[in-house]
Structure 1
Amino acid sequence: MADKLKFALALALVAAGVVGFYLLSEQAMVLRVLSVFAGVIAGAAVAWFSEPGRRFADFARDAITETKKVVWPSRKETVQTTGLVFAFVVIMAVFLWVTDKGLEWVLYDLILGWK
């Protein structure tokens, strides 16, 4: 129950930041954006102390750890793979165009006799 209250309070703080943005319409844009930023930071701080917030922090930490384990392709490999994809797309486009024109010729010229 306490976690639900913390989460509701976090959402209320974020909503208060957004409402502050509109209530401060006569103020400088920097102050309006800071009100939203403050609401988001306050909401995140409150949510951090709830059990779902801790689980999310653990998940984010694990995701960063897994991202560091990924072997990213080199620039050369990326360019080569991109070139192969473009070549395949061009070949498929030509193939589909030839197929379409062939079926058009068979249906309209040979079968139906429309020219």
Structure 2
Amino acid sequence: MNGKSLLSGIIAGSLIASAAALLTTPASGKKLRQNCKVTTSRWQKDLAQIATDSKAASVQLKTTAKLSKDAFDSVGEEVKKSVDHWRSDVEPTLTKLKEDIEALQKNVEQSRKALD
């Protein structure tokens, strides 16, 4: 293979590839560059919006977490107070029921002894 035929093949291939690119390109170079700039600009705006939205969502999440914690703490305190109040209300009744049960058991035992 000589250098002249190799060079001829490279030149012919380049010309064919250039012609194919020109014929198959959907728009002119100027129009294509303009479309690329518009698309790039749109993507940059979209990415900036995503970054802004992400920061806002992060702040909102932190705020919500803090408010939820405060609310749960408050509800927990109120439930504890309610349970303590309920216990103090029920305590005398439970004591009275225990005394009544003990009295009934004594009466049952005395009745059994009396029947024997």
**Is TM (by shorter chain) over 0.5?**
no
Normalised by the shorter chain, which TM-score bucket? 0.3 to 0.5
Structure showing greater relative contact order (alpha-carbon pairs closer than 8 Å, 6 or more residues apart): 1
TM-score by length of 2: 0.39
- Higher alpha-carbon Rg: 2
Instruction: Tell me which protein shows more helix as a share of its residues.
Output: 2
After TM superposition, the score normalised by the length of structure 1 is 0.39
